[in-house]
Structure 1
């Protein structure tokens, strides 16, 4: 069955409108603010999961422990350097 030119033109116009709408939707989804909003929504939803909360708490505890350990070692080194300086000053005197 042959189609007439008007039917073909209507199909082309409809497809063009659909394509334009699809492109507009893709452009809207790809905007940085929308992507950031989507990521935020997903992360907030995931953080509501008790299992994820336990993991985050564990990782946080490890990070805090490492920071405390680093600070303690740094304080110990400063103290040792101070004592070493005092010994060197006493030896040179």
Structure 2
């Protein structure tokens, strides 16, 4: 069954527009600055969680104490 050339051209144009839209969305998602900002926000939120924050402080204090002890021994 042969299709009308105008219909084929419209289908091709719609496919091009859909592809262009998809490529624009991928470009926005793959933007390095946006990815870095998202990662920074995620790490900041994780480090502000008390279940993570206080044990890290404790480990830091322990390492500091061990270093001071080793230096003055």
Distance 2:51 2:34 in 1: 29
Two-structure CA RMSD over aligned residues (Å): 2.1
Structure 1 gaps, min length 5: 77-93
Unpaired runs of 5+ in structure 2?
Answer: none
TM-score (norm. length: structure 1): 0.63
Q: Comparing both structures, which one devotes a greater share of its residues to helix?
A: 1
* Rg larger in structure: 1
Give the TM-score normalised by structure 2. 0.76
Structure ranking higher on relative contact order (CA contacts 8 Å, 6+ apart): 2
